Structure 1
């Protein structure tokens, strides 16, 4: 998190990363020595360079703008607007929703959407984590007790694809709260005192959960996390909302449930879940072998859902 009260100190933090320095050198067509003179207060940027500096660092605009405006009084500064979702991408997702086989439709389409989100919202790879969580099928009591992280993608410091580290989310999670209220939840600053410590991913500072819904029915949540404090500006929220609407096309009609079916349980913390989930693949393989011996029809996807259900039941007993 930044703890600065002037733009020069903020720029010094940015220049600690060589790739950021090179980007400013290239975009502003100045030397790294000039940047250091700005930091030390030995030289001031020209008026047009102030605006170029702001545009060259889109991921830092929300922090730099008030600091620059304070020193350069009377100068009209503006941030570069985030572009809308390209119309050609809408067409690509719509076409995929009707042509991709149902067995791989969710995974294929959701992966494409998340890649586009990363390209548009984190072009400089400063740290964005995206997760699509979906409900496990209702339990024997007809209620929905938890969600699973079905697809996870991100940029450094997170791995590009961390789906193998997926966990279950319940009432304790941001996704659970958003779905219980059927409303967006945003946290623009999270430190050691954050209210959701057990479900935090390392490096998360700002985070949100958008319910994925069709009409009044819900299928899961779109979770976005950033390494930056105050990341979710109004323009970013609006764009993420539109991407959440696109994600509804990756789900089938039967994946959506009435909100009164929710009875979310509390799941263990992420570290404890991942310790126990280390046996997930072995249990799936064992279930498939058992089905083959008994000549039952069971594919890998069905076996995985059954094992997720088993873990969900075990976790509920642990936290009850």
Structure 2
């Protein structure tokens, strides 16, 4: 096959695959006719569309950028070609985390540290606002007849459209059926570039709009507290080594949000299968009311509980109910 000599020829080759053509038109929110006009030179993409095109074609990025640089009619490339994601977390941000961690009260330390880190991460991992979802997923405390970690809970989450900004109201349990559970069990990262094609290769309970995902364990001294889960609305978003390296660095930084007792040795973990998100929703529909009721009940027992303590008690109660539901469903 003859090598493309212009970016338009390269684009024509790429969209000869009908699935790829559909993916590009959907990602750019344009019609197939517009794409054809670009290729034929009948019209030129706007700078933001060209920038987006480069971003959604990571496998062709280097060649596409080179051909664009050779075409003088494109204009000022500094406004078009996206910068690579920052390879490192800024040094001053580490100092900010240490200061915040030292000055925040114990009850708020986990949430405030995670939230601060996710806000920084979302700007670096999705600078072009293509759609990303970040979750800190933590191990539930040991429980059950064998005193093991039996599930994970989505704890602190942020997103960019098509996801909402604050994801915490959508938090659910994850278990052995999930990619996060697989990462916890094997204690090694899991990356899926195309959830439509790779969903049978490893466990993955996907959510709406999720096209690719990268999950890294949160570790301390050979023990694990949870995972940093990054989902993208784009396929192949984690092809770039720089991007996956950055996800790894944020997972390492998130370890500072946890206390030493929050980390578990591999032999303390035995994840169970949890019900689907749709099945869990009915259990979480009265979540806020359950917290209020728990605080009232504990106060009547002369064991006052603050909001954080009541939150944990409700999560533990729901975990037990959902584990029983999943067990009964399995035996039907």
The secondary structure found in structure 1 opposite 2:196 is coil
Counterpart in 2 of 1:217?
223
Asked whether the 8 Å contact 1:198–1:269 carries over to 2, the reply is no
Q: Which residue of 2 aligns with 1:59?
A: 55
Match of 1:234 in 2: 241
Asked if 2 retains the 8 angstrom alpha-carbon contact of 1:55 and 1:80, the reply is no
The 5 A counterparts of 1:1-320 are 5-6=13-14, 16=29, 38-42=38-42, 59-65=55-61, 68=64, 80-83=83-86, 84-140=88-144, 141-191=146-196, 194-195=199-200, 199-232=205-238, 233-320=240-327
CA RMSD of the aligned region, Å? 3.5
**In 2, Cα distance between the equivalents of 1:143 and 1:61?**
43
Q: Tell me the SS of whatever aligns to 2:304.
A: coil
Distance in 1, matches of 2:325 and 2:39, equals: 54
Give the unaligned 5+ runs of structure 2: 1-10, 72-76, 328-332
Residues in 2 aligned to 1:82 and 1:174: alpha-carbon distance in whole angstroms: 25
Distance in 2 between residues matched to 1:92 and 1:229, nearest whole Å: 33
Pairwise CA distance, 1:296: 1.6
Q: Check 1:169–1:239 CA distance in 2 against 1; reply closer, same or farther (3 A cut).
A: same
**How far apart, CA to CA, are the structure 2 residues paired with 1:81 and 1:304?**
40
- For 2:137 and 2:293, locate their aligned partners in 1 and report how far apart those are by CA, in whole Å: 26
Q: Rate the CA distance shift 1:12–1:108 in 2: closer, same or farther, 3 A.
A: same
What runs of 5+ residues in structure 1 fail to find an aligned partner? 18-32
Call closer, same or farther: CA 1:68–1:81 in 2, change over 3 Å.
closer
Does structure 2 conserve the Cα–Cα contact (< 8 Å) formed by 1:55 and 1:61?
no
Are 1:135 and 1:148, in contact at CA under 8 Å, matched by a contact in 2?
yes
SS at match of 1:212: strand
**C-alpha separation in 1, matches of 2:137 and 2:12:** 36
Higher mean Cα deviation, 297-306 or 63-72?
Answer: 63-72
- Out of 78-87 and 292-301, give the one that drifted further: 78-87
Per-residue CA distance 1:70-124 (angstroms, 9 max, x = gap): 978999x997432221111111112222222221111111101111111111122
**Further displaced range: 171-180 or 82-91:** 82-91
Equivalenced residue count is: 298
How far the C-alpha of 1:38 sits from its partner, in A, is 3.5
- Aligned in 2, Cα 1:255/1:127: closer, same or farther, shift over 3 Å? same
Shift of 1:275: 1.8
* TM-score, normalised by the number of residues in structure 2: 0.79
Whether the 8 Å contact between 1:7 and 1:64 is mirrored in structure 2 is: no
Measured in 1, the distance between the counterparts of 2:190 and 2:250 equals 16
